[in-house]
Amino acid sequence: MPQLIDGKAFAASLRERLADSVRTLKEIHGVTPGLAVVLVGEDPASQVYVRNKGKQTVEAGMASFEHRLDASTSQAELLALIDRLNADDAVNGILVQLPLPRQIDEAAVINAIDPAKDVDGFHLTNVGRLATGGDGLVPCTPLGCLMLLQDHLGDLSGAKAVVVGRSNIVGKPMASLLLANHCTVTIAHSRTRDLAGECRAADILVAAVGRPRMIPGDWIKSGATVIDVGINRVTGEDGKNRLVGDVDFDSAAAVAGAITPVPGGVGPMTIACLLRNTVEATCRQKGIDPGAILPG
Ligand code: GUN
C-alpha cells in the first residue's frame, strides 16, 4: 500500500496553528481578521461550502460576515456590495462564491475586489504576481496541494510534475506554484495527445479534471506522488451515492508511492488555506510581517 496523504489531519492542524496566529494578532496588534463571504443564489453545493467557511472562520477566532443575495441580484447590486466591503476596515478578506448566476459577469466581479482583500487569489493582479514570482495571494486549493506535497516530499526541486486540468481555479495556478518550486511542469488536458504517456512520466501527478476515476493505475509511475483534486459524486452498484476522485484510487494505490484519498485529501485543505490567506491579507494590510505570524 502507498502512504496515504491525510489532508483532513493536516488541515485540522493548520487550522489550530492559524487560531494561534489569530490570538497573537489580537493580543499583540489589537487586530481581529475578518472574512466576508458573498453567496448569490441557492446553489446547494455552494450553500454547504459557504456554511462551512463561516463556521471554520469563527472557530479560528476571526470575524465572519456572510452576505446572501437573491439569485436575481443584478451585477450593479453585487458590484455596489463589493465596493462597500472594499471600503470596510473590519473586512480583510472578500470571497464571492462561484459560480455566479448567468446575468453576472464573473470576471468583472472578481476584478472589482481590492487585490489586497482577494483571498481567493483570482484577481488579475494576484494571478500576475503568481505568474511572475511576486508576493500575492494564491488560490486556496492549489496552495493546499502544494502544502501537502511539501509536507510529504520536502524539497520539490527537479521533480517532473504533471497537472491534468487547465482551469483558472486549480490547474493553471497549480502549475505556476510547482514551477516556482523548481519542478519541471507539464499541463495536460482533454486534448493532450498522449495523456497516459504524459501521466506515466510524472514524479508528481496532480489530477484536477472533474471526471470520476478518469486516471487509472496503469497511467501512474511506480512510486509517484498523486494528488487528487477531484470530488465527484457517483452512484455505486448498491444505488448509494459516494464521492470519488479523478483518479481510480484502488488501481492507483497499487503503484503510487503516496496518494491523497477522496474524501479526506485535498478537500479539507481549501478552507484551511482560505483562513491562512485571510490572516496573510490582514497582516499585509496592517503592515505586519506575515512571516512572523503565519504557521511555518
Ligand atoms: N467555487 C468552487 N471553488 C471555489 C473557490 O475556490 N472559490 C470561490 N470563490 N468559489 C468557488
Contact criterion met (CB below 8 Å) for 184 and 41: no
- Vertex 15, ends 5 and 154: CA angle to 5°? 40
pLDDT at 134: 87
pLDDT beneath 70: ranges in the chain: none
Contact criterion met (CB below 8 Å) for 141 and 266: yes
CB-facing half-sphere around the CA of 248: CA atoms within 13 A: 10
- Domain ranges in the chain with CATH number 3.40.50.720: 140-268
Hey, whose CA ends up nearest to atom 9 of ligand 1? 97
Determine which one of 53, 117, 172, 221 is catalytic: 53
Range 29-118 classified under CATH 3.30.565.10 = no
Nearest to 163 by CA among 229, 217, 223, 211: 229
Determine which one of 6, 118, 120, 248 is catalytic: 120
Helix (H) or strand (E) holding 227: strand 225-228
Rounded-to-10 torsion of CA 67, 68, 73, 74: 20
Instruction: Look up the pTM and report it.
Output: 0.98
What is the CA(10)–ligand 1 centre distance, in A? 20
Measured between alpha carbons, how far is 49 from 130 in angstroms, rounded to an integer?
25
**Closest atom of ligand 1 to CA, residue 96:** 9
In the annotation, is 97 catalytic? Answer: yes
- Domain ranges in the chain with CATH number 3.40.50.10860: 29-118
- CATH superfamily for 140-268 is NAD(P)-binding Rossmann-like Domain (3.40.50.720)
What is the CA(47)–ligand 1 centre distance, in A? 12
Contact criterion met (CB below 8 Å) for 123 and 152: no
Mutate to test the pocket of ligand 1, among 49, 119, 278 (most ligand atoms within 8 A of CB): 49
**Helix/strand/coil (H, E, C) string of 71-127?**
CCCCHHHHHHHHHHHHHCCCCCEEEECCCCCCCCCHHHHHCCCCHHHECCCCCHHHH
How far is residue 158 from each of residues 163, 182, 202, 240, measured CA to CA in Å?
A: 15, 6, 11, 43
Residues with C-beta less than 6 Å from any ligand 1 atom: 95-98, 120, 140-141, 169
Which amino acid appears at position 44 of this protein? Answer: P
What is the CA(97)–ligand 1 centre distance, in A? 5
Which amino acid appears at position 94 of this protein? Answer: I
pLDDT at 14: 98
Hey, whose CA ends up nearest to atom 8 of ligand 1? 97
The residue whose grid cell reads 482583500 is 117
**Closest atom of ligand 1 to CA, residue 140:** 6
pLDDT at 239: 95
**Closest atom of ligand 1 to CA, residue 141:** 6
What is the CA(98)–ligand 1 centre distance, in A? 5
pLDDT by residue (tens digit) across 67-123? 999 999 999 999 999 999 999 999 999 999 999 999 999 999 999 999 999 999 999
Contact criterion met (CB below 8 Å) for 197 and 215: no
pLDDT at 1: 83
In the annotation, is 120 catalytic? Answer: yes
Query: b vs e for 134-154, b when ≥16 Cβ sit within 10 Å of the residue's Cβ?
Result: eebbbbbbbbbbbbbbeebee
